[in-house]
């Protein structure tokens, strides 16, 4: 790993920082001039044939439009759906799994829990590695980490040669109790390095060193499966950036838990990148909430394919240690492949601009989760799509401007939208086309509001106590109705809302989380051994960040513990006090756990033993010094009025002559009373009846809803 100590973290505000987010429909670019805070953005349709080609096309375009030389790009932060798509579409490397003898069926057996207990023909996700590609090795390590049976190294050497001859590209190694003692997994890696150096090897003790054999194996296999794909892509991207002269040609990569890591680390642990795009959006919402003086937020990100919701408390997005990917039944918990890796806790809903509306066999209107995506896209795109989508409905109702979509860079065809809605929704329902469009709009709003309410209630939270930050290409169009359904009082619409994930990459600190299994009662923690574990994790994390050019003195460490009641499945994260561990610190951790447990479940279990599941160390660099451009106060909103157009007023059930404002012409302090539309290149803000909006000094729009707590 290259060592350029302090290179990216000197007090140097010259040049530009660029964030690039490859999404399901668009690839987004956020370019910020570090001295002035001036933010410019760009979008291109995601190139599914060659994603790096799409990145370079959009990169060259945004640099040329702003007269910026590639050498002036000093920071390049990237997030991509490539790993996610490889898992969902099963386009990863040919992968084998090595396990302890007797445990060949670990992936097939999985867990006995079912996401639908009444479906006797339930479909479960097929393992990424078929049983024929799972190989058993003689060895055995006990639960306490002691070696019972030594590794049969001769068998490993023979297996390595067999794997090479079979054309296998990647190997996942998940041995029994390797999270306690990794000696046998490390020995297998060393043998493969000698006998089969061309094969990519992922060890469970490196990728996911936690208790739970199935989840550990699933995560390690996923890492191995996408690792060759990500290595080729990231190395190819680095080469292309070097060729055009980008100074920051070795990009930082966004992770699922809201940090950035060096490219070399991302190549080793691509499973950490799966939710990088949504994580960037949550980090952006946290930043915007901070500059707007709101700490408790609900980040609402609605794009072309899905909507994501993340709860942020005191400026920190909520986090968890496990999620799923590749659902058999889309968005049904338990129907996907489990991934045990740090991730910002959010829910994903099949509700995006491309979500398809149709009438079910029962004659009911259904919206999503199927999506028209970028290709062919909504009918109004004119790219061959014929299904009625949310974007078609929003265009029909006047919320979108057919001539100003993406700032006029992509014309929408309202006639195609009307035709799709009429044929696929209005006629089957026997209602006028405008009623069908209203139905699509309201159903998708209701789906998102109900999902957000359930998510908050499951966490013991009331959405009415939070401020919504709405972004994504479609988020500001739907935020008012969703927030009103949740009883919320305030919505913040960030400037450049359509590219918030890419902007979020630029405000995310370099960070990496390390985990070690504990599995011991809280009141009987081996404090000396635990102190040693934290010291080892901190040292490893510091080496990683120093290799990315971060000075040791600029690195901070946050210690945490995953704690639960003994016998329970789910745990809660609590902070571990800094310094030496003692009884007082353990008691402080117990109080923190009980407080969080009571907040989540509204009760505790007095007298029941409490156990530590694992220890965690989050090693971070300084937050990027990104400042937004300030806008001066000026004339009122009338100066930004672009004109009027017919927009459907859902509250009064009719089309009205609605004022339309230019987002970029709004000075700080400008006030707008709904109903109104505010347009910018990447998104459109819909202000409903009774709502009031004021622009702040950063051109964020703060909307106050007419209803408060219900």
Domains contained in the chain, CATH given: 16-86+231-273 (3.30.420.40), 96-227 (3.40.1360), 355-442 (no CATH), 511-620 (no CATH), 637-704 (no CATH)
Say what percent of the chain tops pLDDT 90: 66
Residue by residue, DSSP assigns 594-650 as: HHHHHHHHS---TT--EEEEEEEEEEE-PPP---PPP--B-S-GGGGEEEEEEEEET
pLDDT tens figures, 513-548: 999 988 889 988 999 999 999 999 999 999 988 877
User: So what's the pLDDT on residue 496?
Assistant: 87
The more confident residue out of 20 and 9 is 20
What is the β-pairing status of strands 388-389 and 467-471? unpaired
Per-residue pLDDT band at 330 (split at 50, 70, 90): low
Residues 338 and 322: beta-carbon distance below 8 Å: yes
pLDDT tens figures, 144-165: 899 999 999 999 999 999 999 9
Give the mean pLDDT of 555-578: 91
pLDDT at 328 exceeding the cut of 70: yes
User: So what's the pLDDT on residue 331?
Assistant: 62
3 state SS of 160: helix
- Residue 407 CA to residue 42 CA, distance in Å, equals 10
- Residue 307 CA to residue 318 CA, distance in Å, equals 17
User: So what's the pLDDT on residue 322?
Assistant: 87
User: So what's the pLDDT on residue 12?
Assistant: 52
3 state SS of 462: coil
Q: Is 680 exposed, middle or buried (0-12, 13-18, 19+ CB in 10 A)?
A: buried
User: So what's the pLDDT on residue 7?
Assistant: 40
pLDDT at 604 exceeding the cut of 60: yes
Angle at 246 between CA 244 and CA 251, to 5 degrees: 120
pLDDT at 250 exceeding the cut of 60: yes
Task: Measure Cα distances from 97 to 92, 103, 204 in Å.
Answer: 14, 11, 11
- Residue 205 CA to residue 188 CA, distance in Å, equals 12
pLDDT at 461 exceeding the cut of 80: yes
pLDDT tens figures, 342-384: 999 988 887 888 899 999 888 999 998 888 876 788 999 998 8
pLDDT tens figures, 255-289: 999 999 999 999 999 999 999 988 999 999 999 99
User: So what's the pLDDT on residue 636?
Assistant: 83
pLDDT at 8 exceeding the cut of 70: no
Per-residue pLDDT band at 296 (split at 50, 70, 90): very high
User: So what's the pLDDT on residue 547?
Assistant: 77
pLDDT tens figures, 62-97: 999 999 999 999 999 999 888 888 888 889 999 999
Per-residue pLDDT band at 497 (split at 50, 70, 90): confident
User: So what's the pLDDT on residue 194?
Assistant: 96
Residues 39 and 213: beta-carbon distance below 8 Å: no
pLDDT at 10 exceeding the cut of 50: no
Per-residue pLDDT band at 710 (split at 50, 70, 90): very low
- Residue 95 CA to residue 475 CA, distance in Å, equals 39
Contacts of 272 (CB under 8 A, 6+ apart): 255, 256, 257, 261, 266, 341, 342
- Residue 574 CA to residue 556 CA, distance in Å, equals 18
User: So what's the pLDDT on residue 2?
Assistant: 37
pTM (2 d.p.):
0.89
Give the mean pLDDT of 394-404: 93
pLDDT at 192 exceeding the cut of 90: yes
pLDDT at 142 exceeding the cut of 90: yes
Ramachandran bin of 411, using left for φ above 0, alpha for ψ from -120 to 50, beta for the remaining angles: beta
Per-residue pLDDT band at 13 (split at 50, 70, 90): low
């Amino acid at each position: 790993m290259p060592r350029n100590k302090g290179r990216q973290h000197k007090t140097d505000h010259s040049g530009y920082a660029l964030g690039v987010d490859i999404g399901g429909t668009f690839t987004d670019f956020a370019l910020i001039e570090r001295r002035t805070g001036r933010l410019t953005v760009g979008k291109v349709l995601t190139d599914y044939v060659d994603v790096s080609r799409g990145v370079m096309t959009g990169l060259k375009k945004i640099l040329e439009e702003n007269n910026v030389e590639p050498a002036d790009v000093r920071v390049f932060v990237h997030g991509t759906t490539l790993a996610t798509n490889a898992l969902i579409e099963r386009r990863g490397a040919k992968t084998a799994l090595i396990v302890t003898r007797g445990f060949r069926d670990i992936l097939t057996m999985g867990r006995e829990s079912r996401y639908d207990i009444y479906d006797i023909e339930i479909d479960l996700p097929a393992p990424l590695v078929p049983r024929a590609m799972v190989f058993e090795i003689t060895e055995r390590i006990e639960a306490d980490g002691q070696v019972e049976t030594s590794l049969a190294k001769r068998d490993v050497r023979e297996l390595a040669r067999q794997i090479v001859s079979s054309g296998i590209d990647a190997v996942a190694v998940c041995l029994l109790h390797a999270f306690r003692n990794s000696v046998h997994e490390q020995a297998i890696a060393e043998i493969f390095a000698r006998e089969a150096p061309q094969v990519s090897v992922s060890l469970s003790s490196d990728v996911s060193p936690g208790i739970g054999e199935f989840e550990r194996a699933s995560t390690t296999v996923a890492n191995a499966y996408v690792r060759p794909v990500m290595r080729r892509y990231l190395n190819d991207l680095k080469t292309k950036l070097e060729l055009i002269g980008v100074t920051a040609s070795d990009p930082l990569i966004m992770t699922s838990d809201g940090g950035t890591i060096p490219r070399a680390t991302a190549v080793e642990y691509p499973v950490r990148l799966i939710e990088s795009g949504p994580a960037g959006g949550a980090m952006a919402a946290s930043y915007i909430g901070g500059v707007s003086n709101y700490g408790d937020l609900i980040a609402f990100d609605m794009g072309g394919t899905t909507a994501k919701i993340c709860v942020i408390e005191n400026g920190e997005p909520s986090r968890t240690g496990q999620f799923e990917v590749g659902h058999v039944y889309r968005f049904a918990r338990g129907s996907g492949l489990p991934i045990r890796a740090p991730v910002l806790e959010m829910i994903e809903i099949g509700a995006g601009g491309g979500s398809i509306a149709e009438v079910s066999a029962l004659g009911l209107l259904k919206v999503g989760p199927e999506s028209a995506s970028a290709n062919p896209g909504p009918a109004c795109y004119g790219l061959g799509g014929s299904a009625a989508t949310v974007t078609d409905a929003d265009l029909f109702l006047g919320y979108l401007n057919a001539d100003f979509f993406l700032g006029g860079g992509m014309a929408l065809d309202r006639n195609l939208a009307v035709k799709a809605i009429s044929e696929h929704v209005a006629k089957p329902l026997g209602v006028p086309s405008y009623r069908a469009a209203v139905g699509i709009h309201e159903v998708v709003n209701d789906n998102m509001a109900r999902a957000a309410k359930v998510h908050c209630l499951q966490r013991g939270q009331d959405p009415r106590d939070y401020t919504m930050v709405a972004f994504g290409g479609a988020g500001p169009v739907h935020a008012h109705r969703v927030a009103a359904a949740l009883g919320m009082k305030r919505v913040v619409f960030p400037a450049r809302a359509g590219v918030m994930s890419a902007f979020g990459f630029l405000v995310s600190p370099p960070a990496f989380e390390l985990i070690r299994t504990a599995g011991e009662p809280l009141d009987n923690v081996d404090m000396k051994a635990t102190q040693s574990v934290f010291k080892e994790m901190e040292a490893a994390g510091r080496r990683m960040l120093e290799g990315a050019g971060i000075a040791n003195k600029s690195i901070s460490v946050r210690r945490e513990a995953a704690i639960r009641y003994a016998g329970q499945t789910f745990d809660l994260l609590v902070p571990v006090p800094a310094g030496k561990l003692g009884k007082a610190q353990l008691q402080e951790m117990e109080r923190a756990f009980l407080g969080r447990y009571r907040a989540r479940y509204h009760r505790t279990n007095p007298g029941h033993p409490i156990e530590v599941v694992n220890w965690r160390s989050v090693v971070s660099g300084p937050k990027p010094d990104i400042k937004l451009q300030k806008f001066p106060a000026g004339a009122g909103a009338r100066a930004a009025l672009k004109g009027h157009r017919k927009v459907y007023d859902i509250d009064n059930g009719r089309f009205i002559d609605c004022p339309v404002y230019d987002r970029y012409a709004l000075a700080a302090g400008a006030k707008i009373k709904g109903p109104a539309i505010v347009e910018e290149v990447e998104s459109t803000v819909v202000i409903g009846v009774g709502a009031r909006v004021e622009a702040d000094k950063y051109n964020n729009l703060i909307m106050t809803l007419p209803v408060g707590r219900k």
